[in-house]
């Protein structure tokens, strides 16, 4: 593995993140989330921007920064939804992991951390952790066990939002129809008045 071109295992092991750098990385990743659009190469550009703000350009590569962020996300989700791994020796917990509060502040309210109905349905078909697929381009998906209550409330919130959106669309369509009918009626009335005036002007 280590000898393959493009493999950065040895490269990543040369940089050790200290507490201040890790804190700044988490904060800047949250503040610059809009740069991670999912477009090809946008993540690399976004990581370069963050590393420049940290003064680490040339010292840390975008690949190393992304790897560090992925590790932080993985540990965060293990703490937030420990599932069957809870209590295993060496596993971080929300109480013991120093970055939990900051990570929760930055990504805890994202839809991918509180999954919508679609991800909840997939979880039933594919049990067990499979978050790696959803983590492409910085998009997190949580498939840990022990999450039935948050999933249920997320499903209810999603239904409520969908219902509200449908009602707004229906109201808007109704208003448009009414406005069109009013315009058509006004147009017919104007034409009737015009014909009445023309009839008066044209000698019989």
Q: Indicate the SS3 state at residue 60.
A: strand
pLDDT digits (tens, 9 = 90+) for 22-40: 999 999 999 999 999 999 8
The CA distance from 143 to 116, in Å, is: 12
The CA distance from 201 to 204, in Å, is: 9
Q: Indicate the SS3 state at residue 57.
A: strand
pLDDT value at position 26?
Answer: 95
Q: Of 29-43, 145-159, 160-174, which range is least confident?
A: 145-159
157 token code pair? 């919130």
pLDDT value at position 6?
Answer: 38
* Domain locations along the chain: 9-146, 151-204
pLDDT digits (tens, 9 = 90+) for 46-84: 999 999 999 998 899 999 999 999 999 999 988 888 765
The model carries a pTM of 0.47
């Amino acid at each position: 593995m280590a000898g393959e071109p493009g493999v950065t295992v040895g490269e990543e092991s040369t940089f050790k993140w200290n507490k201040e750098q890790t804190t700044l990385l988490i904060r800047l990743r949250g503040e610059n989330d809009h740069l991670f659009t999912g477009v090809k190469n946008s993540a690399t550009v976004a990581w370069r921007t963050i590393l420049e703000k940290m003064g680490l350009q040339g010292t840390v590569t975008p690949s190393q920064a992304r790897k560090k962020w992925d590790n932080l996300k993985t540990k965060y989700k293990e703490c937030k939804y420990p599932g069957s791994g809870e209590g295993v020796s060496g596993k971080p917990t929300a109480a013991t992991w120093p970055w939990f509060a900051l990570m929760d502040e930055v990504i805890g309210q994202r839809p991918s951390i509180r999954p919508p109905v679609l991800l909840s349905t997939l979880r039933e078909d594919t049990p067990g952790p499979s978050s790696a697929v959803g983590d492409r381009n910085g998009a997190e998906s949580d498939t840990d066990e022990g999450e039935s209550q948050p999933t249920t409330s997320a499903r209810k919130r999603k239904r409520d939002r969908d219902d509200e959106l449908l009602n707004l669309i229906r109201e808007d369509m109704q208003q448009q129809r009414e406005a069109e009918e009013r315009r058509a009626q006004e147009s017919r009335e104007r034409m009737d008045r015009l014909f009445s005036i023309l009839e008066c002007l044209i000698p019989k």
